[in-house]
Amino acid sequence: MTTADTPRFDAPLGPLDGRYRPTVAPLAGHLSEAALNARRVHVEVEWLIHLTASGAVPGLRTLTDAEVALLRSVAADFDDASVAELAETERVTLHDVKAVEYYVKKRMENGSLADLLEIVHLFCTSEDVNNLSYALMVRDAVHQVWLPAATALVEQVEGMARDLRALPMLARTHGQPATPTTLGKELAVLAHRLRRQLKRIAAAEFLGKLNGATGTFSAHVVGAPDADWPTVSRTFVEGLGLTWNPLTTQIESHDWQAELYADVARFNRVLHNLCTDVWTYISIGYFVQVRGQGTVGSSTMPHKVNPIRFENAEANLEVSNALLDVLGSTLVTSRLQRDLTDSSMQRNIGTAFGHSLLALDNVRRGLSGLDADPAALARDLDETWEVLGEAVQTVMRIHGLDQPYERLKELTRGRRIDAAGMREFVEGLGLPGDVEKRLVELTPGTYTGIADELVDFLDS
């Protein structure tokens, strides 16, 4: 087949707009190109309303309630036809924000607002509109889509931790048999880590500015020298539900974005750790995949049920973090007072959150299909009595016996010890009766400390 014969498909280039579209579709209303333009229209309209109400410009009339409602309907009614119209206008202007300005003006030119056409976008540089639009987009995407999905996942893990809080499990530090724990406590550790990151993300600030071409209010002061422009700007930005940034160049510095993306990436990395741990527990039989597994596991081996949800999640978390990391590292730098690297970079925010959201969905579905296998956990514990060596040598130290560590090392290292062998060793130590009884009755399955109780710290 030659290049000329290559089929040309009208199909998505990336998976988020292809096979995974149903999962990530809720983000499209916040982090797509269309969503960006909708927020731009919103900002332009609200700035016009704010400017006329502020009294900052001498002689500028105020709006009637009906005119305010009409202007806000321009933003509220933004739809697919609006997107197409803007695209057509931009082909002429070759400037996206200028196209938005013309879009708003067109809806004002034949009514009572016609006298205010040139007040649209007054005192604004494009970045005044863009930075506020991106802040609104990201804020709403985080709080309305990503955080609810991430919170539901953490609650699911917390629920599993509570259900499995008392199920003994052999720990595997460095992949080797180690002091037993409980399956619930280990899940609680992961849930606690994830919850801490959610608190940071939920408390994130979303900054915005409106101060002109180089952040100095220069045109504002020349045009209306008697106005308190910092106050006009601050009240507008805060009225949008954002935090006002008083000191910027032409662009808002994007530091808040870097902070947010670092926190989301850290959440992703902890979630990746959960995926690899759960994958391992599945591989050694601690979890059995039993529900919702009507899919084909292998094209040739019908017995297989592959942990694909966790593997899919790992891959998507890695893609998400690659994008979040480059967003955070790139957006904090702008040459002198302005360059356009941020313009292209910010268009990838939706993709970064999309892959994270897809991972959240996969992990939730994967966890929903798991049951713990207590018999498998018990078998591992019963085959590793040597893990009681830590407990025995600790008691020996307390009671002043010679070389406790070394004697347990000789007994246990490189060999399997059964219940009889461990008890015989303990009974030969000459410990006080009650102490000896406590050690003799100890088993790998009961040597879990207060792991069960520690799960309650999820509620603190």
Question: Which segments of 77-125 does DSSP mark as H helices, in order?
Answer: 80-93, 96-106
Of 174, 299, 344, 460, catalytic? 174
Q: What is the pLDDT of residue 303?
A: 61
Residue 176, in any domain of the structure: yes
- Tell me the CATH number at 286: 1.20.200.10
Predicted pLDDT at 1: 44
Determine, yes or no, domain membership for 224: yes
* 353 plus 323 within the same structural domain: yes
Q: Is the dihedral of CA 55, 58, 64, 70 positive or negative?
A: negative
Q: Is residue 9 part of a domain?
A: no
Q: How many CA atoms lie within 13 A of 338 on its CB side?
A: 15
Q: Which of 73, 112, 283, 298 is catalytic?
A: 298
Pairing mode of beta strands 370-372, 287-289: antiparallel
Q: Is there a single domain that holds both residue 143 and residue 241?
A: yes
Rounded distance, CA 31 to CA 136, Å?
A: 10
- Is residue 311 situated within a structural domain? yes
Q: What are phi and psi of 179, to 5 degrees?
A: -45, 125
Residue 405: which domain range? 384-455
**What's the total number of domains in the chain?**
3
Residue 5 placed within a domain: no
DSSP label of 60: P
- The yes-or-no answer on residue 298 being catalytic is yes
Which residue, of 313, 348, 378, is where some domain finishes? 378
pLDDT score at 26: 95
- Indicate if 281 and 220 belong to the same structural domain: yes
Do 40 and 105 lie in one domain? The reply is yes
User: Which tokens go with 243?
Assistant: 């935090």
Same-domain pairing of 324 and 436: no
Clarify whether residues 99 and 147 are in a common domain.
no
CATH code, domain with 388: 1.10.40.30
Q: Which two tokens stand for residue 115?
A: 């006298």
Q: Tell me the C-alpha distance between 68 and 434, whole Å.
A: 83
**Is the domain of 137 the same as that of 153?**
yes
pLDDT, averaged per 10 consecutive residues of the chain (460 residues), comes to: 61 87 95 96 98 96 98 97 96 96 97 97 97 98 98 98 98 95 98 98 98 97 98 98 97 97 98 98 94 57 78 98 97 93 94 98 97 97 94 94 90 88 93 96 97 95
CA angle 175, 180, 185 (to 5 degrees): 95
Within a domain: 4: no
Distance separating alpha carbons of residues 391 and 426, to the nearest angstrom: 11
Q: What is the pLDDT of residue 291?
A: 62
- 415 and 271 both lie in a single domain: no
Question: 94, 124, 154: which is the final residue of a domain?
Answer: 124
Q: Based on the domain organization, do 334 and 433 belong to the same domain?
A: no
Residue 57, domain member (yes or no): yes
Whole-number Å distance between alpha carbons of 154 and 202: 14
Q: Are 337 and 407 contained in the same domain?
A: no
**Are residues 224 and 165 located together in one domain of the fold?**
yes
d(CA 3, CA 196) in angstroms, rounded, equals 53
174 noted as active-site residue = yes
CATH code of the domain covering residue 92: 1.10.275.10
Among 87, 105, 124, the domain-final residue is 124
16 falls within a domain: no
Q: Are residues 155 and 26 in the same domain?
A: no
Rounded Cα–Cα distance for residues 125 and 255 (Å): 20
58 with 224: CB under 8 angstroms?
yes
